[in-house]
Structure 1
Amino acid sequence: MLEMSFEAENKLEPEKKSELAKKLGLQPRQVAIWFQNRRARYKTKQLERDFDRLKSSYDSLLADHDSLLNDNLLLRSQVNR
């Protein structure tokens, strides 16, 4: 239930927090802390995904760069013959 509520909105209004706490038999503070922790985990995962995407782009650009350098060397050697 908490996970579904987080997917719907990652910040809780006080009324929704109280409602969830009552349904789950928890204190409102426990629900608030769960949401804080879940937002922190979400942010960490998002950073990991962003890093992976950037690393992939970097690796691709590096490969293109190396290929261009090799092409450049080949062309220079052909011109200098």
Structure 2
Amino acid sequence: MFPDLNSRSTPAPPAWSRFSRCPCLFKNEALNITVVSYDGNLNFSFTACRTSLPRVQDVAVYTLAALEQLEEAVRDSGQRTPGQEG
């Protein structure tokens, strides 16, 4: 009654093969950083080619460190930042 799924004439592709190419990166592009500001938050999204940039999490860590340095520099300069009271 049900077809035998184990008897195929051609081998099935690996489950991950459809994810091996990222359609959100353009040709010759290794990293896409998207920044969105919403409801008082600044959100970052990192999309990278695993071959060209295998440790994309390092980019996220460096970005956080750079933002913390920027906030400190603005705080030390006495300038008001958006959303700051007073």
Name the TM-score, length of structure 1 as normaliser. 0.40
Greater C-alpha radius of gyration: 1
- The structure with more strand, counted as a fraction of residues: 2
- The structure with more helix, counted as a fraction of residues: 1
Name the TM-score, length of structure 2 as normaliser. 0.38
For CA contacts below 8 A with separation 6 or more, give which structure has more relative contact order.
Answer: 1
